[in-house]
Structure 1
Amino acid sequence: MRRAVIVDFGGVLVRSEDPRPRRDLARDLGLSVEALEDLIFASDLSLRAQRGEIPEPAFWRAVGERMGLFDPEAVHRLRARFFAGDRLNEALVAALRGWKGRVALGLISNAWSGLREVLRRLGLLDLFDVVVISAEVGLLKPDPRIYRLALERLQVPPPMAAFVDDLPENVEAARALGLYGIRFQETEAALRQLQGWLDGEISG
């Protein structure tokens, strides 16, 4: 039976490698970086967008309004500056491309409604056999149902799937279902674990 590798998007496939743009933006807004990131990623507003209750453009308009920004161009600049330090994890992408065809590839992300278009622009949408985005399915990690949905679409049982995420609670939820969970902290280490699991050297 074919194995599956499932990865997260933010913090794994795309990482914030240069902290300066976000730090400078927070300073200009009179916020700490932590407060800014909480607003964008963890606020009630963001969670509603991640559940698909509001579309991403409405989310960013509301963020702008909270910052006193009502001009669409100013909101666009805010968004661009917030993500300016993010970089694609090229080594992970290369490994996934090398496994494609031999291993089923999936992505599970707690994300707003625009992620599928982001993946298309990055040339990554066709890399994955299955893409499960929280805003499209109304489920957020670590809810077990979002993992089960991905497994059903990939047509693999939990023991035949590895899952990579940077948040420990998401990894633990995957492990509780029987997947081989990898807490992402550093690319080379995660790739060694994945390759060892695929080679049968590491059991789930």
Structure 2
Amino acid sequence: MIKLVLFDCGGVVMKADDAHIKARWAAKYGLTTEELRRILWESEGCRLSEIGEISDHAYWESLASQFPLATPQELQVMRAELWGAFAVNPRVLAWVDRMRAHYRVALLSNASDVIAPLLEQHGLTAHLDAIYISCDLGVTKPDAGIFLKVLRTEGVAAHEALFIDDRAESVAAAAAQGMHILWYVGEDELDRQLQVYLPTEQPASSMQEGEHAAPV
């Protein structure tokens, strides 16, 4: 029986409308958007910020060596614009609230210390029973350790938890620990998949004979 539902943050509960921002900054420094993405999110500094070894502010300061033409002020403007592009996904948030009526619901995200004030700013903390951020746990998805830490803290077995994420490697890692998983590919598919976890909203009379509402 499911007792805990874990939602990813970036790309699921929150989404960033930032393509135009990335394109503008990439063009400014003579980069492609893919090159900019790799510099920003695949650097050692990013990894360190996501496991809590350095702050998000310090990480962005460290990027000066990657952007020799940029001033420190420009890098902080880029940082503010990219984080500011995040907004709550209302359809997913509605599912957070619906699931919370039946289960304990938490957030599990790879992020630096910037995420806590961002969640508060968007009013998300009030919708969640717990928030687990990689910078506080010292480990990131898809490492098995992050799932084991959360399960241990919550006092639930792996088969009692459902994990929802938009990254294939993260859902595969959760599944390897024995957790129920949903690979988030869009709101319509999420609507279909999560219905089976709300048995009280699916009367037995509405099902075909021999059909069972089993988790996907």
Return the index of the structure with the highest Cα Rg.
2
The aligned amino acid for 1:39 is I
CA contact (8 A) 1:3 1:198 kept: no
Q: Aligned-pair distance for 1:110?
A: 1.0
CA contact (8 A) 1:39 1:46 kept: no
Residues 73-109 of structure 1: CA deviation (Å, up to 9, x unaligned): x222111333454432111112212332421111111
Q: Which aligned pairs between 1:38-53 and structure 2 lie closer than 5 A?
A: 38-53=38-53
CA contact (8 A) 1:25 1:82 kept: no
User: Structure 1 residues 10 and 87 mapped into 2: Cα distance closer, same or farther (>3 Å)?
Assistant: same
2-side partners of 1:18 and 1:182: how far apart? 25
The aligned amino acid for 1:119 is L
How many aligned positions are there? 203
The aligned amino acid for 1:71 is P
1-side partners of 2:108 and 2:166: how far apart? 12
Q: Which runs of 5+ in 2 are unaligned?
A: 200-211
1:203 aligns with 2:215: yes
Q: Which residue of 2 aligns with 1:71?
A: 72
Q: Percent identity?
A: 27
The aligned amino acid for 2:140 is L
Q: Secondary structure at the match of 1:53?
A: coil
CA RMSD of aligned residues (A): 2.0
1-side partners of 2:214 and 2:38: how far apart? 36
Residues 106-136 of structure 1: CA deviation (Å, up to 9, x unaligned): 1111111221111111111232222111111
Q: Secondary structure at the match of 1:164?
A: strand
Q: Which residue of 2 aligns with 1:178?
A: 178
CA contact (8 A) 1:61 1:75 kept: yes
The aligned amino acid for 2:115 is L
2-side partners of 1:114 and 1:14: how far apart? 14
1-side partners of 2:113 and 2:98: how far apart? 28
2-side partners of 1:19 and 1:87: how far apart? 14
Q: Which residue of 2 aligns with 1:117?
A: 117
The aligned amino acid for 1:148 is L
Q: Which residue of 2 aligns with 1:97?
A: 97
Q: TM-score, normalised by structure 2?
A: 0.85
- Select between 12-21 and 80-89 the one with higher mean Cα deviation: 80-89
The aligned amino acid for 1:67 is F
The aligned amino acid for 2:72 is D
Q: Which runs of 5+ in 1 are unaligned?
A: none
1-side partners of 2:88 and 2:95: how far apart? 13
